[in-house]
Amino acid sequence: MEITVDNPINKVDSKALDNAYKVILEALNEIVKKNDHPDDEVEYVTDLIKEAYLRRKSNLFIKNYTDDFSHYLKHALHFALNQESTESQIRDYAKLSYYKRKKHLVASDR
């Protein structure tokens, strides 16, 4: 069983956002080199791009961080409302979820 550290910053969508940010800044630098723009305008646009990037990056971080918790809550409600679930099923799932949160580990069963 392979065990990996679950780091929301290293997710695929976060890496794609990082690459897009780099490409946009490179394109902006090329435009600035070709055309003569005042430094204050370039700095203003760069700040806007950086602000949008950081906002989106933080949203992705929070979303990825809370996905596992919402998954756990969904199953907890399912077990609470489903009378057919056995006590051992509920206990086993709760133990696994607790272990995953406590150690911040995710098994490769995903």
* Cβ-contact 7, 60 below 8 angstroms: no
Query: How many CB atoms neighbour CB 110 within 10 A?
Result: 6
Query: How many CB atoms neighbour CB 35 within 10 A?
Result: 7
Of the candidates 100, 57, 104, the one whose C-alpha atom is nearest the C-alpha of residue 75 is 100
* Model pTM score: 0.58
Q: What is the pLDDT of residues 20-59, one digit of tens each?
A: 999 999 999 999 989 988 889 999 999 999 999 999 999 9
Rounded distance between C-alpha atoms, residue 101 and residue 76, angstroms: 15
Of the candidates 5, 9, 6, the one whose C-alpha atom is nearest the C-alpha of residue 60 is 9
Higher pLDDT, 103 or 54: 54
| SS3 state of residue 107 | strand
